Amino acid sequence: MRPRPLRAVARRTGLLAAALAGAVPGAMAQGVPVAAVFSATEAEQQPRFVFPAKDRQLQRDLDRVLGQQPFRRLVRNNQLSVALVDLSTPGQVRYAGVQDDRMRYAASLPKIGILLGVFAEVDHGTIEYTPALRGKLERMIRRSENAVSTELIELVGFRAIEAALRDPRYQLYSPSRNGGLWVGRDYGGGIGVWRRDPLHKISHGATARQVARFFVMLERGELVSPDASAEMKSILGDPELHHKFVLGLDQRPNSKIYRKSGTWRQFHADAALVERDGRKYVAVALLESRSATGVFADLIVRLDDVIHTARPPSQRSATE
């Protein structure tokens, strides 16, 4: 039986009922064949979304936070990358980052690239979206199960994942942007290394900026399609690993968190879209340190304070 596209499967299974109810009207985006991805250049097609210039006030606030210990020492030693995006005002994106274009080993965080690759292949019609597949995606994202992550890599293939990440519409991995999200080996399932990223030779890599772009495009409904973006966002919700950003946001009750983290040896990562009390933001942190206890929990609380104490744009002077 020929696999059906996401919308058709959603009608049968009911998995996307909530997403479809709030989806932007219009047809599903058409998939881009692997060959087309690698024949296109960035000059021929710009991505759907790029960050504006760094917001001066938000950057000052981020620099102030990172000027405090232990973050100051970590930034000075080139061990910490941070990206912060304020999405609280509809139609406006405020961005700030420190060492945000530095490519780092990111452990399990690049599993969001597998998630994107799966939904791209569903949209292409090469695989069918079923309740069982949804369950595996939840286990990969919410519990970060390595075995199921490798199973999903085998399902779609490394080349399809790379095609999704380098898709000209997204450019989540781009040589002109110093790399970005990359999945070049399995997660302990026996496949081993397929291909390290071309620039830095990292098997599971990320830059804070590109991870932040993933979450912003997800929120804007621009990854694969509005329906697929809504479903991916749902899968990123309800994290089951209670550490890093999630632990810190215990201090901020009623926070809704859509998140993926990762840790391997001295490499630590967390990324989240956070919604609470009318404010919405994306925070990403990549850390290389053998002593990371409390760093992420402390950082997210301070970043949350930055977002929730920011004045609305209408209240700022023209010179800010």
Alpha carbons 77 and 79: distance in angstroms, whole number: 5
Domains and CATH numbers, the chain: 52-310 (3.40.710.10)
Do 317 and 311 form a contact (C-beta atoms < 8 A)? no
The tens place of each residue's pLDDT in the chain, 320 residues long, gives 334 445 444 433 344 433 333 332 222 232 333 333 333 444 447 888 999 999 999 999 999 999 999 999 999 999 999 999 999 999 999 999 999 999 999 999 999 999 999 999 999 999 999 999 999 999 999 999 999 999 999 999 999 999 999 999 999 999 999 999 999 999 987 788 999 999 999 999 999 999 999 999 999 999 999 999 999 999 999 999 999 999 999 999 999 999 999 999 999 999 999 999 999 999 999 999 998 889 999 999 999 999 999 865 544 444 34
Q: In which residue are the tokens 């932040």 written? A: 212
pLDDT for position 292? 85
Q: How many CA atoms lie within 13 A of 81 on its CB side?
A: 25
CB atoms within 10 A of CB 283: 28
List of residues 6+ apart from 197 with CB closer than 8 A: 103, 173, 179, 182, 184, 203, 205
pLDDT for 152 equals 97
Scanning the chain, the segments in alpha helix (DSSP H) are 6-13, 17-21, 34-39, 56-66, 71-76, 111-124, 131-142, 146-156, 158-165, 208-219, 226-236, 244-248, 295-309
- Virtual torsion, Cα 183, 156, 237, 88, nearest 10 deg: 70
How high is the pLDDT of residue 7?
46
> CA–CA separation, 41 vs 237, rounded Å?
34
User: Residue 291: what pLDDT?
Assistant: 83
Report the distance separating Cα 248 and Cα 240, nearest Å: 14
Q: How far apart are CA 139 and CA 316, in angstroms?
A: 44
